[in-house]
Amino acid sequence: MKKQLLDNASDTSLDRVDGAVKVTGTATYSAEYLVPGLVHAVLVTSTIAKGSITAIESREAEAVPGVLAVISHLNAITVPGWPERKQPAERVPVGTALRVFYDPLIYFDGQPVAMVVAGTREQAVHAASLVRVTYQQETHQTHFEKNIGKAGVPLNVQRSKNSPFQDYQRGEEAKSENTEVRIEAEYTIPTQHHQPLEPHAIIAVWEADDKLTVYDKNQGVKSAQGQLAQAFKLPRENVQVISKYIGGAFGSGIRVWPHTMAAVMAAKQLKRPVKLVLGREQMFTSVGYRPYTVQKINIGATKDGRLIGIVHEGTGQTSMYEEHLERTVLASRTLYACPHVATRYHLLPLDVNTPTWMRGPGDATGMFALESAMDELAFALKMDPLEFRLKNYAESDPERNLPWSAKSLRECYELGAEKFRWNNRMQAPRSVTQNGLLMGYGMASSLYGFHRHPSKVRAVIQADGSVIVQSATMDIGPGTGTAMTRIAAKVLGVNAKKIRFELGHSALPDAPGQNGSATIPSVGSAVHVACEALKTRLVALAREMSERFKSGGQVVVRNGQVYGSVDDKDGVSYADILKCHHLNELEVTEESKSGAERDQYSMYSFGCHFVEVLVSPLTGEVRVTRVVTCADVGAIINCKTARSQSIGGVVGGIGMALMEHSEMDHRFGRYVTTDFAGYHIPVHADIPPIEVYYIDKPDVHVNPIGSKGLGEIAIVGVAAAIANAVFHATGKRVRELPITPDKLV
């Protein structure tokens, strides 16, 4: 059941259920709610990276017509969930989220120090430019390489024996240093920013002293509800978080950030609804980023290409006040059959804002190093890179000593190689040219952990036979509503057009936020079980109506009707079942979660990418000219939206490999690439045809729908595949992303 999804006429995928409202501009995003009495806030941010505020001169700003307040630590309300302010202010212990307008201390350049609220955004922007902040500056450290000696084991890991980030060892570390063929290399990933098209935005409305509604761009309405309820010491149900449409997030919306708190505080203080939209430049210091990370890999094999040892060390950047940990080195324990493996993970705190999860966090970073090193080792072994990977294929999880719940990576390799025509690859680098350009082929593997969280779904069938399915899940772009509609339609035998899926509101049944590629595995399973339960109720009601439906397992549902058997010509419609029983509607709520299978199987999504590049020998410009990407994520729910996710992942990977780099001027500890002129992301002209394939075989052990996460595995490994193709084209190994022309000429 291998599916090529390009222009596939037989594909019965649903179009996006919210496509029309999005393209016609009628979908309401967080900043677009029309709330009576709305006022506008603009942040003033710190221009030093470390120190403290000595004075804030706001009289000129306050005199601007329309200005309602200039809020700072000098006059901000007390947030009930925060500890009392210390006099004099003290730097917080590691692990404390930044408290906005709390005290005069500065932890990073770009930190909010004041906020102007005015009747119009223009008034607020102008007044914000008039706020004068003076500082007592302290020496800051923002340079990763210069400070790497200060990196260490995260406190979080020191305190938690069972942390997955503890040093890991199997076999003997010394064994990898005494192999017949060995590579030792260092790989660097610079800071990269999510930068979704829609900037983060919030409208905060206090409906009463103890009732808060926020329209906030985030990836989890339930977790935002919990965090806001905790901060303001409110019962959860008194906080409503609405985030129905999201113009991209990529991890930047997983937590509640200081700007969100600032808007909620201002709305409380002024007793007015407050809207705050971050400026593009503020997006570089307000909502996290992929942390600067340096990795060392020492990898060795026998002469015939059997892996003996891998030592993988990673050091990531974090802030002075929080530790952001990610899976950087973990894949090296799992991806290949290798007897001697050691991993170590360190953090380097700097005077910067806290990083966060971004597009395959940790794994995308780690896989760049591991899959580059695998390519380097294959070259040293004079082996085909794909053959080398197949030779070290892990038939079971070498880390946990457990069988895979399912793994079709071999099929991915075979299908991808065939479609890409990998066999045409010349072994020697720099051996193929096309119109004066150097051509190279590269490939890399991909894996991503399986995440499934408890999820509740309500399914309601109405008198006319239409169905509403609800869950407080999110859609940051992959088309959650579309996939869920597909699942419900299949279970209930109802036309998708008669199903409405509702999400993005904290009053809906409890569901995880959208992250870790967990939505389909978690919420999709809950949709499945809720619709199964609803179907069971409907069939039971049908049985009360007629003998025809009493034939045990024979009963089927299709076209919104119950039939006595597959061949039955006359069914009874759901609408008639409800009518007959004098019901206006019928509702079920079900929860779905993992069970004992989590301890019996090791669960991952797998994949691989094949990439062709052309490199100009004169200018060093790299063009990706062809990509074949293949994934094994269990059952595919909706091919069309799945394919879009895979394409998005490859596009993100091309950005990561060739362009994305947040450059800092360390004299000031300040980013200088704070717009899309300086921070490059791929545009249409940078993207070649991308062929997407899925193995599409249900993983029967993971959940009732047999489906694993797809969103993030789509990017994991792409940067390595491109770097490997660049090496094949040019003979130059670039170990520091992005691969810009200067590194190739």
Binding residues for ligand MOS, per CB under 6 A?
Answer: 219, 250-251, 254, 357-359, 361, 515-516
Q: What angle do CA 662, 71, 39 make, to 5 degrees?
A: 90
Residue 36 tokens, joined? 């009576």
By C-beta, is 244 or 389 nearer to ligand MOS? 244
3-state secondary structure of 433: strand
By C-beta, is 516 or 682 nearer to ligand MOS? 516
**Smallest gap from residue 386 Cβ to ligand MOS (A):** 28
By C-beta, is 358 or 530 nearer to ligand MOS? 358
> Does residue 634 come out as left (phi exceeding 0), alpha (psi in the -120 to 50 range) or beta?
left
**Smallest gap from residue 513 Cβ to ligand MOS (A):** 8
State how beta strands 664-665 and 670-671 pair.
antiparallel
* 23, 112 Cβ separation under 8 angstroms: no
- Rounded to whole angstroms, what are the CA distances from 5 to 12, 56, 629, 644, 694? 11, 58, 11, 10, 9
Amino acid letter at 417? Answer: A
CB nearest ligand MOS: which residue?
Answer: 251
Separation of alpha carbons 739 and 719, rounded Å: 9
Please list the residues that pair with 364 across neighbouring strands.
none
By C-beta, is 123 or 515 nearer to ligand MOS? 515
Separation of alpha carbons 408 and 447, rounded Å: 11
Separation of alpha carbons 104 and 135, rounded Å: 9
**Smallest gap from residue 253 Cβ to ligand MOS (A):** 7
- Rounded to whole angstroms, what are the CA distances from 181 to 60, 383, 724, 725? 69, 12, 19, 22
By C-beta, is 72 or 662 nearer to ligand MOS? 662
Residue 378 tokens, joined? 């294959």
- % helix / strand / coil in the chain, to the nearest 5? 30, 25, 45
Element (H, E) at 114: strand 112-118
3-state secondary structure of 529: helix
- Rounded to whole angstroms, what are the CA distances from 158 to 164, 320, 345? 11, 17, 12
**Smallest gap from residue 433 Cβ to ligand MOS (A):** 39
State how beta strands 211-216 and 455-462 pair.
unpaired
Residue 488 tokens, joined? 């419900």
**Smallest gap from residue 387 Cβ to ligand MOS (A):** 33
Separation of alpha carbons 242 and 222, rounded Å: 10
**Smallest gap from residue 334 Cβ to ligand MOS (A):** 19
By C-beta, is 194 or 498 nearer to ligand MOS? 194
**Smallest gap from residue 39 Cβ to ligand MOS (A):** 31
**Smallest gap from residue 55 Cβ to ligand MOS (A):** 39
**Smallest gap from residue 499 Cβ to ligand MOS (A):** 26
Q: What angle do CA 106, 110, 115 make, to 5 degrees?
A: 85
By C-beta, is 250 or 345 nearer to ligand MOS? 250
By C-beta, is 250 or 610 nearer to ligand MOS? 250
What is the rounded end-to-end Cα distance, in angstroms, of the chain? 45
**Residue 60 bears catalytic tag:** no
Separation of alpha carbons 737 and 654, rounded Å: 11
By C-beta, is 289 or 563 nearer to ligand MOS? 289
Calculate helix-pair angle for 639-658, 363-380, nearest 10 degrees: 70
Active-site residue (options: 62, 322, 712, 736): 712
- Residues labelled as active-site residues: 712
